[in-house]
Amino acid sequence: MLSQFESYPFEKLRTLLSHSTPPQDSEIFTLTIGEPQFPTPQNIIESLQHNAPLLNKYPKSSGESYLKDAQLSFIKQRYKISLTQEQIIPTFGTREVLFNFPQFYLYGKANPTIAYPNPFYQIYEGAALASKAKVIYMNLTKENDFTPHLTESQLKEVDIVILNSPNNPTGKAMDMPSLIQWVENALRYDFVILSDECYSEIYSNSPPPSILEASIQANNKNFKNIIVLNSISKRSCAPGLRSGFVAGDSEILKAYNLYRTYLGCALPLPLQKAAATAWQDMQSPESSRKIYAKNLALAQEILGQWFLDRDCKIYPYTFYVWLEVGDDEAFCKFAYEKCGVLTLPGSYLGRENQGRGYVRIALVYDNDTTQKALLKLKEALTLYKKLYKTLDKKEQE
């Protein structure tokens, strides 16, 4: 079983660059990991410090009511949707849910099947392996505008569909009609949608829609077969706080809540207090969102045209840019060795050659640092393009 689990992309990158060195006296720009590089808001830190004495108490697996209320308030303000406490469970981030929910839901099914985007966040693959489920890849390509799709026969077969919008790594967000269609398909073919919306608060101008909103518009007001996940890691610059939620179909969540009592994933009470502060704070996330929006604008301005004159299509969501470069591993080595810029090969994020030829860059720094990094990346792209053309010319001769 363990041999089936692949190394995480960052471990593969360390292996790739194990014999590489950046230029001497060069500033290193790490654009590989989606970890916000801004300070956690002070109100969250103060709440954590003030409530540290609560460590002498056991937390509830189902989450404290004040944290649920804070998360429900966020959903109400963000989506104008009122959920009940039975329709939400505070979680230890969202990674644990992405991994264990499929194991919970698929347990006992004779031939479980799960579908998810490809390329993808690798925990999806881990969940499928742990569930012993067949996988259907929903390939994201420039030809389909990085949009997930299943055929009718696949819709009839699948038990769980994981959607990720806005998407990591491509940055693409699905529009409301597409999400409504997914809700209708989930009802018609009776499968569960697990909607990973952890990047919902990172956008340039207009916020992306949620499948909760799409469910209401599809007249699925009880959110049957619809489960949504979100987290404060990105929006509140607090990935170490490990606060997320899973919300939607109350019948499924009732059984899942019982299952979770055996997992030991309850969030310590001081963290729940700090998380409640974070979920209620609508101002601090807006400040960081504007920085990310400016970073995306800088990427569009600086990168423009690149390798082999491909157009630079940067979506106004997430803090990722999905950059087509040719040989992704070769470019990553080249950019690091020549310019001190670390990027992540797209082939490490996909299977069956999906993602190959792309690199993912994470724009998680302040605007000035991001601008410097993008200029260095442009330099690497320019040098690499020149090298490619030289090699191509020699091959033709």
How far is Cα 380 from Cα 333, in angstroms, rounded to an integer?
A: 10
How far is Cα 216 from Cα 210, in angstroms, rounded to an integer?
A: 10
User: Tens digits of per-residue pLDDT, 197-239?
Assistant: 999 999 999 999 999 999 999 999 999 999 999 999 999 999 9
Q: Mean pLDDT across the stretch 89-118?
A: 96
Helix pair angle (95-106, 123-130), 10° resolution: 30
Residue 59 has pLDDT above 70, yes or no: yes
Q: What angle do CA 340, 342, 346 make, to 5 degrees?
A: 145
How far is Cα 150 from Cα 45, in angstroms, rounded to an integer?
A: 44
Residue 285 has pLDDT above 80, yes or no: yes
pLDDT reported for residue 392: 41
Residue 240 has pLDDT above 70, yes or no: yes
Please name each of the domains of the chain with its CATH number.
9-30+284-387 (3.90.1150.10), 42-281 (3.40.640.10)
User: Tens digits of per-residue pLDDT, 66-78?
Assistant: 999 999 999 999 9
Q: What angle do CA 125, 129, 130 make, to 5 degrees?
A: 115
Question: How does residue 1 score in pLDDT terms, banded at 50, 70 and 90?
Answer: low
Q: Mean pLDDT across the stretch 303-313?
A: 65
Question: How does residue 368 score in pLDDT terms, banded at 50, 70 and 90?
Answer: very high
Q: Is 116 exposed, middle or buried (0-12, 13-18, 19+ CB in 10 A)?
A: buried
Q: Which region among 183-192, 219-228, 322-331 has the lowest average model confidence (pLDDT)?
A: 322-331
Q: Mean pLDDT across the stretch 326-336?
A: 95
How far is Cα 341 from Cα 323, in angstroms, rounded to an integer?
A: 14
pLDDT reported for residue 311: 60
Residue 380 has pLDDT above 70, yes or no: yes
Q: What is the pTM of this model?
A: 0.94
User: Tens digits of per-residue pLDDT, 345-356?
Assistant: 999 999 999 999
Mean pLDDT of the chain: 93
pLDDT reported for residue 389: 59
pLDDT reported for residue 391: 42
Checking DSSP bridges between strand 320-324 and strand 358-362, what pairing results, if any?
Answer: antiparallel
Question: How does residue 385 score in pLDDT terms, banded at 50, 70 and 90?
Answer: confident
Question: How does residue 396 score in pLDDT terms, banded at 50, 70 and 90?
Answer: very low
